[in-house]
Structures are given as structure tokens and as C-alpha cells.
Chain A
Amino acid sequence: MAVPREGIYGLVAEFETPTELVIAARAAYDSGWRRLDCYTPYPVEEAAEVIGFHKNRVSLVTLIGGLMGLCAMFSLETWISTLAYPLNIAGRPTYSWPAFIIPAYEWTILFAGLSAAFGMLALNGLPSLYHPLFNAPNFRSGATQDKFFLCLEATDPKFDPAESKAFLEGFRPNSVVEVEY
């Protein structure tokens, strides 16, 4: 992905309450902004809704992971018990599928859980220890603590440093800051 590594990343407005953030984010989305994001200290579902982020693929990744775990363990057990190392345990059939269910069940959960966690991180593009927003002077003292941020990104065709700044200031934020890469 050819991301410009110099110039302006975007404009970031700081709000005091989640309600103000949602109002501003909705207005921006409604007026055609698509490359924008909100940053909050805890999940604010309404903010995601108004910027058009309605569903994600974490559940799908988890389902695929779980099915993989199930198939992997059950076939491993079957292969080991019938072909690789058949043992006569009190005359029971080598293919004792009811007994195989338990490890297969555990691996379903193991793979699904790992897929949910790592899939979520991967879809989020994490870990990424550097992000231009950390350059904003007020971002780190607020976004993970008690302030609510709306960022209009410079890659959006509607972006114009002066005009967008005026747009954001219309919502009476605490501040609007230009963020450099």
C-alpha cells in the first residue's frame, strides 16, 4: 500500500463527551466523509454506527478457526488410533469415535479462541507500535483516558486543511489539531 509518509495525516478534533463526538461524526459522514475515524477510551457503539461501520468479520474468522480445530483433532485421533498406532484397549474398537469427541471439542474451542483473538488483532492492523495520531499533542493524554476524538483523514477527497478545520470547529470541540505523519 502506497501510503504517503510526509505531510498531513489528518485533522483531529477533541471532544469532552461521547454525545458531542457522535453528533460531529454523524454530520461528517452525512456530508460525504468516508476516510474518518473516532477514537474513544471505551467502546462507543453509536460512534461506529454513524461512521458506517456496522459489521465486522471477526465472527467468520472464529468460525473457520473452530472448524479447522475440530477437523484437525478428530482426523488426527482417527489416524493415530486406527492406522499409526492401533492399540487393543479391553477389546474396544480402534475407531472409538465417542471418546474422540472430547479432545476434538477442546481443540475446536482452542482454535476458535485463538482465531478470535489474533483475527481481531490482524483485522485491526495491530500490533502497529507507531501511528501518526500519537504525534498529536493532546491525543495521548486523552484518547485512552477521558477524551473523545474525531479524525478527518487527509486521504479523503473532501479534505482541505482550512475548510475541514472550519467544519470541525463548527461543532465546538476543545481543540482541532493538524496531525503530521
Chain B
Amino acid sequence: MATKDFKTEDPRIDPATGELRVLAPGQSFRSVTAKIADIVLTPHTSLGWLMLFSVAGSVATMLLVAVTWLFLKGVGIWAITQPVAWGFAIINFVWWIGIGHAGTLISAILLLFKQTWRNSINRFAEAMTIFAVVCAGLFPLIHVGRPWLAYWLFPLPLTMDVWPQFRSPLLWDVFAVSTYATISVVFWYIGLVPDFGTMRDRAKSKFAQYIYGMVSLGWRGSVRHWMRYETASLLLAGLATPLVLSVHTVISFDFAVAVLPGWHTTIFPPYFVAGAVYSGFAMVLTLAIPLRKFYHLEGLVTDRHIDNMGKVMLATGGIVAYGYGMEVFMAWYSASHWEFFMMWNRMFGPMGWSYAILITCNIAIPLTTLWVRKWRTNLTFMFIISLIVNTGMWFERFVIVVTSLYRDFLPSSWGTYRATKWDYMTYAGTFGLFTALFLLFIRFLPMIPMHEIKMMLPSARVNAESVAEAGD
């Protein structure tokens, strides 16, 4: 139905399928290689990159200042106290981890479902995952109070003979997040190895040849290697899929295992995972739209990608909306006074504004507009929507953490929460860190997997008829 919006002679439409094209026509192995590799191999660093990098670096310095002060003074510089003992650190942790999940969804789940359109956005979505996990992992580490003792979280044979407590969801988190970070890095690196080989062979300078040669591990494209490589990639995708689902499930257990109105619900795991993918795709769009413009990648990251990501956001946003609805329903249906009060207080209490922002940004705006294909392929609109959804998803975590805690069972212990400048500086600083890492990635690594794009070109297919004829 929606295809009627476009005329059939529209060059963006593939006449064979009637869908938007995944790759622009007229590309060869060589042109794809040159396009992607030369972004990195040029000795010329654009002024825009340098300016952005210095801005990002300055913002990241703010993080350094905030964390240094934190280490000197302790977590008292943050707004956390009774009754709201979890504040920005946990909100930001969950938010950043959630952002990372879209990268794994794209690289693993869509690979298993043979959604080849994902090849173009796979690499930088996965880079986004890793940098988001870096930012996320920072928060629990600096939140532990004495971060120099954070290694106590691991089961290590220490001289004190003290061991971790495996019945705590917070410890499950340690294993979930550390596994997630490790597997994401490994999966990403394995994906990069053949492309490093290409970079090594294209690099003009001795230094670049040397470095890319080392990291390519001597990749030479033997088909035996490729077959093992394909098996390993599929297996890693098959492993990363249950992993990514388990990570946000375990994070939701941090809340759901506690006996607290607003946290103690069984809907948390699926709704956390859907929310993570929702915000993650929003972040992929936030990054992909400017990237494809600045590096002229319209032929590789096409309107089809933007359109499909809009559809995924629509679906996961729908699941999230169901989760919000169910929370409200269960608060009423449970017939528990505490549950009912928590929900009423969350919506209409003194911090009800945060719930209003959440519903506006996550439900009201995106879930009404993303249905229209014309808007899903409008870059400005999608860029703005992606920012709105990310704001909304941050507020979702704010609502879960703060509004469940600030008015608990005893009115005498009620309080409020007002973030301090150190909270804001730490949060803003992680944006600087994330952007700086991402800029380094697009300057030094091929941001689109070359060998995966080549596989999608029409010339990549082996003509079975000719092979059969030659055999006779």
C-alpha cells in the first residue's frame, strides 16, 4: 500500500521487489572498497572532524573532573541519599547499556534472520554498542563508593578469603555486563579482520601498512578460512542473541527482584529489552543520518535503512507502550494500596512531570507519526524523532528509579530528588567520551564492512549455469 507514495520510476525503488533499494545501483567491488577504505586512508583529516573531536574531548574532560572530585569526596557529592539512594548513576547505566543493545540486535539477530540490509549499518552500530557499554560500565564502577575495591566484585582468591554473594542480582549484573562487553568487542574485532586485510593492502604509507597488517592477523582471504570465519560469525551471532536478551533482563532484575512497588513486576524483563532496542535504534539513527551526509554514503546507507529502522522503532515502541499500560493496569488490578499509590504518585505526584515527558517522548510523538512512510524516509524528521525517543527513554529510567523511591511506605520518610551539578557533569561528560571514541572509530577504522557489502552486489553471485556447462 505504502509503495503508492512513490512513482515506479523513482530511482530509489528496486523494480524487482517494489521496495526501497538496499544499495544504490551501479557499484562494483572496486568502487565499494575505494569508497569505504579511502575515508580512513586519506592523510587529510577534515577540519570538521578536528573541531568536533576537540569539542567532544573538552566535554569528556568534564567527566574526568567530575570523577576526580568524586574520588576525592565520595558519592555524597551526588544527589543520592535516603529515600532515593539510586540516582543518575543507575539511570545513566541502564540508558547507555540499552543504547548498546541495538548494535547487537543489528549485528547478531538480523544476521540470523538473514536481513542483509543490515550489512551497511552493522559495523558502526556495533562500534556504538562498545562505546555505549564503556560509558555504561563506568557508572556502577564509580557508584560503588570505593572504586579502587571494585575488583571485589569478581570471584578472586583474595588473602582475606572473602567471596562474592551469588544470590544478588547486582552480582549477576557484573557477569552479564562483563560478558556482554567482551563478546561485543570480540564479535566486532572478528568482523574487522578481513577489512583490516583490505586496509593493509590499500594503505600507501609504511606506518599504516604495518599497523593494519598487524591487526589483520595476516588475513589473506583463503576460502577455507572464509568458511570457518562464516561459521564462527554465525555462532557468535547465535550466542550474542541470547546474551543481549539476558543482559537487559538481568539489569531489570536489579529492580524486579527487589520487593518495592514500581519495581517488583514480572513485565520488567521483556519491557526492558524492548525499551533498550527502541532507544538503541534511535541512537543508530542519530549517528547514521549525519554520518551518511558528511561522508556521502547515500549509496550504501540508503533510505531503505532509515525506513527499516523506523519500522523497528515502531514495533519496539509498541511493546514499550504495552509495558507502560500493563504497569498501570497491574497497579490497579493488584488491589495493593502501595502499588496503587505508587502509580498515582508517579503520574500526578510532585514529580509527575517526568512521567508526562516520558509518555510524550516515547508514545505520543513517535508512535503516532512513524506509521507514515513518507515521514520515515524524511531525514530531518527521523533525526528529530531519534533525539526525542532517546530523551524519552532516559526519562523512562528516571521514572523507574526516582518515582518508585521518593515516596515509600512511610510518609515520615518521604523525600525528593534533585540532581547536583556533579550528576549533570558526569552524565554530560559521558556524551563527550562516547562522541570522542566514535570519532576516533570513523577516522581509523572502516565504518562499513566492505566484505559484507561486496556479498550483496549482483556481481558477487556464482553463476551456477556457467559452472554446470563448464563441467560437461
* Docked pose: A156 CA to B213 CA in angstroms: 29
Determine which of B28, B202, B214, B226 lies in contact with A129 in the assembled complex, contact meaning CB atoms within 8 Å: B214
How many chain A residues touch B (Cβ–Cβ < 8 Å)? 71
Contact of B147 with A by CB under 8 A: no
Residue of B nearest to A120 (CB): B232
With A23-B466, A103-B171 already in contact, the answer to whether A123 and B228 are too (CB < 8 A) is yes
* Docked pose: A144 CA to B467 CA in angstroms: 23
Chain B contacts for A66, CB-based, 8 A: 239
**Interface of A (DSSP majority class):** helix
Determine which of A44, A81, A110 lies in contact with B223 in the assembled complex, contact meaning CB atoms within 8 Å: A44
**Contact bitstring B228-251, A, C-beta under 8 A = 1, else 0:** 111110011001101100100010
Determine which of B193, B201, B226, B235 lies in contact with A116 in the assembled complex, contact meaning CB atoms within 8 Å: B235
Chain A contacts for B213, CB-based, 8 A: 129
Chain B contacts for A48, CB-based, 8 A: 223-224, 226-227
CB contacts between A and B, total, < 8 Å: 219
**A42–B455 touching, CB < 8 Å:** yes
Determine which of A87, A120, A127 lies in contact with B229 in the assembled complex, contact meaning CB atoms within 8 Å: A120
**A84–B161 touching, CB < 8 Å:** yes
**B28–A146 touching, CB < 8 Å:** yes
Contact of B372 with A by CB under 8 A: no
* Docked pose: A37 CA to B227 CA in angstroms: 12
With A23-B467, A124-B224, A144-B201 already in contact, the answer to whether A80 and B231 are too (CB < 8 A) is no
Contact of B470 with A by CB under 8 A: yes
Residue of B nearest to A93 (CB): B167
Residue of A nearest to B210 (CB): A129
Least CB distance, A156 to chain B, in whole angstroms = 15
Determine which of B198, B467, B471 lies in contact with A145 in the assembled complex, contact meaning CB atoms within 8 Å: B198
**B175–A141 touching, CB < 8 Å:** no
How many chain B residues touch A (Cβ–Cβ < 8 Å)? 72
**A144–B194 touching, CB < 8 Å:** yes
**B221–A143 touching, CB < 8 Å:** yes
Contact of A126 with B by CB under 8 A: yes
Chain B contacts for A112, CB-based, 8 A: 235, 239
**Contact bitstring B168-181, A, C-beta under 8 A = 1, else 0:** 00011001100100
Contact of A165 with B by CB under 8 A: no
**Contact bitstring A133-144, B, C-beta under 8 A = 1, else 0:** 110000111011
Contact of B262 with A by CB under 8 A: no
**Contact bitstring A93-111, B, C-beta under 8 A = 1, else 0:** 0001001101101110110
Chain A contacts for B221, CB-based, 8 A: 39-41, 143-144
* Docked pose: A44 CA to B461 CA in angstroms: 8
* Docked pose: A86 CA to B97 CA in angstroms: 32
Chain B contacts for A71, CB-based, 8 A: none
**B175–A103 touching, CB < 8 Å:** yes
Contact of A167 with B by CB under 8 A: no
* Docked pose: A51 CA to B463 CA in angstroms: 17
With A58-B231, A113-B186, A144-B219 already in contact, the answer to whether A42 and B467 are too (CB < 8 A) is no
**B223–A117 touching, CB < 8 Å:** no
* Docked pose: A58 CA to B237 CA in angstroms: 14
Contact of B225 with A by CB under 8 A: yes
Interface residues of A (CB under 8 A from B): 17-19, 22-23, 26-27, 37-48, 51, 53, 56, 58-59, 62, 66, 73, 76-77, 80-81, 84-85, 87, 89, 92, 96, 99-100, 102-103, 105-107, 109-110, 112-114, 116-117, 119-121, 123-124, 126-131, 133-134, 139-141, 143-146
5 closest residue pairs by CB, A with B: A146-B29, A127-B217, A120-B232, A43-B226, A85-B163
12 A-B pairs whose Cβ atoms sit less than 8 Å apart in the complex: A19-B467, A41-B33, A42-B460, A58-B235, A102-B172, A103-B171, A106-B246, A113-B186, A113-B187, A113-B239, A126-B217, A144-B194
Interface residues of B (CB under 8 A from A): 28-30, 33, 155, 161-167, 171-172, 175-176, 179, 182-183, 186-187, 189-190, 193-194, 197-198, 200-202, 213-214, 217-232, 235-236, 239-240, 242-243, 246, 250, 253, 450-452, 454-455, 459-464, 466-467, 470-471
Given A113-B243, A116-B236, 20 new contacts (CB under 8 A): A18-B462, A22-B462, A23-B471, A27-B470, A42-B451, A42-B454, A43-B223, A45-B227, A47-B223, A56-B231, A62-B235, A105-B246, A106-B179, A112-B239, A120-B231, A124-B225, A127-B218, A129-B214, A131-B218, A146-B30
